[in-house]
Amino acid sequence: MNTLEPRYHIPSRQHFSQVVVPKLYQEPGHVGKILDLQPAVAAALLSPEVRRNAREIDTLDNLDIRDAEDIMKLLKPLKTVTTALSDEQNPTVSLIVPLKHTIEQSMLPVEEDSTTVSMMKKAIFNNVSDRYTGPGNNHLLDCTALDPRFPSLPHLSKDQRQDVFQRVKEKAVQMPNQVLILLSITNSSTKIQPRLKKTTLEDLLEGTFTESVGAAQTNHVCEIEAEIVRYRSELSISLTSCPLKWWKE
């Protein structure tokens, strides 16, 4: 091959088998790199020296080459997702649902797909779609909803989006109760102070001109609902922005 195609600088057979081939299989783009070598391989296989000494030579026909090129296109979203996660400075759980949806959409069949590509798409789709299902999926959806990059949840129906933010509201309502429980546990270890006797003014006006516990709880729920509405009405931040920094500010 070096004699026929010197411009490719093909290394020795030992170097190729021990270094090049293992490296190709360790990289996501090994199919593309193999295709890059195709002209040199084809020239070597067509040479009189090789054809004279070889009785049976298996070569790639046009269909095989087209399948290899289609497989490269098919695997590109997977490589992109992997690269995006590895390059992310602050990878968060909220990215799982959007990236999973992107992969699933790219694996939907189209009329132009060959038999090989259709089978690969089906296998990848079935593998990905079965991941993160069940109760754990609700947690991922809640995390995605609270990421200011994806508050619209466009891949969900209107009812599904409503269910997500309903869970968020219920969790937010429970937060003050959890704080009170922690405070009560902490205070239980300290010396209990005797309760002061109510004043005459408290006996007279308490519950009439002051808010009851139930009214305060209602106001708290209304505030949470208003915050959720305001959050959902805001524009999404850019994909390069940090959601943790956004919430902190």
The chain-wide mean pLDDT, for the chain, equals 75
Q: Which whole number is the average pLDDT over 84-102? A: 86
More confident residue, 238 or 10: 238
Q: Per-residue pLDDT tens for 177-224?
A: 554 444 454 455 444 455 556 565 555 555 544 455 455 567 778 888
Q: What is the pLDDT of residue 1?
A: 45
CA angle 3, 31, 10 (to 5 degrees): 15
CB atoms closer than 10 angstroms to residue 242: 16
CB atoms closer than 10 angstroms to residue 218: 12
C-alpha–C-alpha distance, residues 175 and 181, integer Å = 10
User: Using N-to-C axis directions, what is the helix angle for 135-145 and 96-106, rounded to 10°?
Assistant: 110
> Which of 134, 138, 164 is CA-nearest to residue 152?
164
Q: How far does CA 134 lie from the centroid of its chain?
A: 17
Task: Report residue 101's pLDDT band, with 50, 70 and 90 as the boundaries.
Answer: very high
C-alpha–C-alpha distance, residues 18 and 30, integer Å = 15
C-alpha–C-alpha distance, residues 128 and 146, integer Å = 23
Sequence ranges of the domains in the chain? 86-155, 158-183+217-234
Q: Which whole number is the average pLDDT over 148-175? A: 89
- Which of 21-25, 40-44, 45-49, 221-225 ranks highest by mean pLDDT? 221-225
Q: Give percent of the chain above pLDDT 70.
A: 59
CA angle 105, 107, 110 (to 5 degrees): 95
Write a three-state SS string for 115-155. HHHHHHHHHHHHHHHCCCCCHHHHHHHHHHHCCCCCCCCCC
Q: Which whole number is the average pLDDT over 78-102? A: 86
Tokens 């209107």 belong to 158
Tokens 């959720």 belong to 228
Q: Per-residue pLDDT tens for 118-145?
A: 999 999 999 998 888 877 889 999 999 9
Q: What is the pLDDT of residue 119?
A: 93
| Residues shown for the chain | 249
Q: What is the pLDDT of residue 4?
A: 47
Whether the predicted pLDDT of 74 surpasses 60: yes
The token duo for 97 is: 């649902």
